[in-house]
Amino acid sequence: MPMATHMRKMKKKVIKKFKALNKIQLRSLCANKFKMIIVFTCIVVALLAVLMCFIFPVSDVTYFWNWSVINVKETHFPRDFLWGTATAAHQVEGDNDKNQWFTFENGGFTNSDKNIANYERSGIACNHYNLYREDISMMKKDLGVNSYRFSIEWSRIEPSKGNYDMNAVQHYHDVIDELLKNDIKPLVTLHHFTEPQWFADLGGFEHFENIEHFVKFSEFVFRAYSKKVEIWCTINEPNVYIVEGYISGSFPPAKHSIVTALKVTTVMCEAHVRVYRALKKISEELNVKSQIGLVLQLSQVDPQNRYNPIDRICTFAAEKISVGLYLDFFSKGSMYVPFLVNYANTDAVGANDFFGVNYYRNDFFGMTLDIPPIKSVKDYKNREYNDMDWEIYPEGIYRAIELVNKTLPGLPIIVTENGLADAKDAKRAKFFDRYLYAVNKAIQDGCPVKGYMAWSLMDNFEWASGFYPRFGLYKMNYKTMKRTLRSGAKPFIETIKKWKVENNIKD
């Protein structure tokens, strides 16, 4: 074989082997690069997760107590503790036909007859407007409470702008007098989700200029009853009013706008401050004692997976809008959400003599395959829920009280609402045992809790859910208006009896 031919063959073999070697090396190099990318991505994700803990802080600890080793009967409440129940005018009185909820029930704001579950209307409700004497007698004889939180219906007092109904004014005088005659302390709420239709027609709390109408109503009512009433709640659950009315759209005015919702947040917080300052001024003028505070829904929000950045971001946002903005405003005098809200009023600091805590539920936010992909995730296997699918989580009321005390240290706290929907009355007894234990634990741990109001005195019209939720200590027969005390209320009643014995308090 000629040398030239042999050399060509050798060259081809060498080139072939070199190409094969390059392919192997290239594959190896690519594989190594791919591994490096995966490792780098994991490190970045891990760093982002850690960073999220600082950028989007949420509660570091989710409490789950070992109830099997806890003696829930071991409670000791202070001698001056307020024990009571709570209601709202529109939910129990009946025949409130001049407020925006009456309009909503009848298709207003949405042009739909489906605004209320099962096409229901509040109608006569529980007829509490006419049966208040019997109801107060039940509170005294059956429950043994020493306080009652109720709301004065703005649309009854001022059915048209600037015109006051003196018959309605006298009615609430009669209610208050009946309470005092039975040694029951009245706690009055000025705004509990309802307002006159004329106020709603002006845009309600969407506009700062409308605050003056609420201030004037509050001043009128305060002058009428302040010699008989010491404890005043300005606005009940502005966070629920706003989320349901301006985000979910399930309350009037049935809008869906985060921008408007945040605007209303600033207006309602400002309204509280102005009402507080106005009523304290009148209190000095009339030389009467007054305790005035806001009531907030402080249900807890946790990420389903606290190491999932998306869960954490969504939880932070939900917590900020539902609770954080309010606590910021009253502790620092300002609230801030980038690009959306930046509002300040230093008068807000100190504009509460007490803080009302309403507590009902705990939510875990997490990613799902549903639309929307982020929602409250349920765990029916390991957790317990009430008839409204709200988690029964007694540790949460402890956390809520602890949060308020941490943010507004030393400010007296009243649990202004706490209860559950339980038509079968199968969970109510355990509910009260555990929640009252949690409230007492908060007191023992240094939180200045001054009272506890069970929601509710009786079953009632539960807003957009209609009449099906059964929150009452008393079962309502809506046909006969008969009230029947539920056996599940027994732990609540027994705790009050025990407190009276320990503190030598006679009925």
Where b means 16+ CB within 10 Å and e means fewer, 464-499 reads bbbbebbbbbbbbeeeebebebbebbebbbbbbeeb
Give the pLDDT of residue 378: 83
462 touches 455 (CB < 8 A): no
- Domains of the chain (ranges, CATH numbers): 56-502 (3.20.20.80)
Cβ proximity of 465 and 115 under 8 Å = no
Residue 26 φ then ψ, to 5° = -65, -45
Q: What is the pTM of this model?
A: 0.89
The pLDDT value recorded for residue 371 is 58
Q: How long a stretch of residues is the chain?
A: 507
Give percent of the chain with pLDDT exceeding 90: 78
pLDDT given at position 80? 98
Give the count of beta carbons closer than 10 Å to the beta carbon of residue 503. Answer: 13
Burial class of residue 13 (count of CB atoms within 10 Å of its CB; 0-12, 13-18, 19+)? exposed
Whether 284 is a known active-site residue: answer no
- What is the rounded distance in angstroms from the CA atom of residue 376 to the CA atom of residue 367? 9
Q: Which residue has the tokens 């009940």?
A: 236
Local structure of residue 489 (DSSP, 8 states)? G
The tokens for 72 are 């829930």
Low-confidence ranges of the chain (pLDDT < 50): 14, 18, 21, 26, 42
Which one of the listed residues 244, 270, 402, 417 is annotated catalytic? 417
Cα separation, 161 vs 210, whole angstroms: 12
Share of the chain above pLDDT 70, in %: 86
In Å, what is the CA distance from 431 to each residue of 281, 349, 385, 490? 41, 35, 11, 11
Q: What is the DSSP string of 303-355?
A: ESSTT-HHHHHHHHHHHIIIIIHHHHHHHHSEEEETTTEEEE-GGGTT--SSE
Report in angstroms the alpha-carbon separations of 339 from 256, 336, 373.
18, 9, 24
Strands 374-376 and 362-367: antiparallel
